[in-house]
Amino acid sequence: MSVSQPASQAESVQAPVQPSDGRLSTGAGGARFAPYMFISPFFIIFFLFFLFPTAFALVLGFFNWRGLGQPEFFELRNYERLMRDPIFFQAVQNTVFYTGFSLFIIMPLALLEAMALNAKILWFKTLWRILYFAPIVTSTVAVAIVFRMLYNREFGLINEFLMSIGLTPVDWLGDPNAVKFAVMGLVVWRWTGLLAVYFLAGLQSIPDTLYEAASIDGANGIQRFFYITIPSLRPVILFVSVIVMIGALQIFDDPQVLFGSGSPGGPANAGLSIVQYLYSRGIGDLLYGYASAVGLLLFIGIFVLSLVQFRLLRGFED
């Protein structure tokens, strides 16, 4: 008996041919476009709420517009007016002070705090880390109210402490020479803990064998800090310095809430930041074109300073 099947029977067991009704090609095309459909909400939101407003603000800086009516083409008059405005330069000086204080005071404090939280002899490490991180998740309004009470000239705790050691009380919110330090006191309390978390993550990634080998070779604590800790933290230092600089140049809510809407920059605009100045001109005075010009100059300043930071830290890496 033959084991081979007849040709007609073999053809009968073959898979049926799919009907050519176009459904297969349509499904393949849908499969190709499905990933783009899933990621499209991000790009739509990015375009509507970031890219388009940014481009619109860049163009609006050359117009005079108060939100209603036809915009009037102003050429460079917004920028010419800006260069003649003494309040703008006061805001620039204040913002430069905030930036320098943040880079050279808050960052070293955050690094020291991270080293303390990373110490092996520290008890209850998790509790301390939570306490130091808590200010960043606290409401800015609540923090500002507390600091207004601390800075009070008559019954504030800070002046009470100064008088207890024989010093003269300071009008923190009324003296133009003390206003910027009052703002930075609030900023130090709010942001040092967050920066310390970044440094703490970098410290925990450094192998202990490096410190052990350096100790065996006779290196002391200062030498281990400058020759192991700092070089190993280069990526973290770059990241933290950039976000600190950008945050300081865009500081707004801390002085705004601390001084209130009646005098957002404090006495004689001594604590006014660039973003506060932009807000007052755009929202308060409805000078949208003028405020857009301020925003463009702020963007250029942040971009240039960020490039300088990358350049300096690359040189430090070399």
For 215-257, what is each residue's pLDDT tens digit? 998 889 899 999 999 999 988 998 999 999 999 999 998 888 8
**Superfamily holding 77-139+176-317:** MetI-like (1.10.3720.10)
Helix (H, G, I), strand (E, B) or coil at 301: helix
SS (H, E, C) 39-78: HHHHHHHHHHHHHHHHHHHHHHCCEECCCCCCCEECCCHH
Residues 202, 234: Cα–Cα separation, whole Å: 9
Looking at residue 10, its pLDDT comes to: 46
In the chain, where the domains are located: 77-139+176-317
> Band of the pLDDT at 29, cuts 50, 70, 90?
low
Residue 83 corresponds to which tokens in the numbers above?
A: 């260069």
pTM, to two decimals? 0.82
What is the structure's pLDDT at 11?
A: 47
For 170-195, the pLDDT digits (tens) are 999 888 889 999 999 999 998 998 99
- Among candidate residues 165, 162, 140, the one with its CA nearest the CA of residue 150: 162
| Residue 43 neighbours by CB under 8 Å, 6+ apart | none
Give the other-Cβ count within 10 Å of 52's Cβ. Answer: 11
187 close to 98: Cβ distance less than 8 angstroms: yes
Burial of 105 (0-12, 13-18, 19+ CB in 10 A): middle
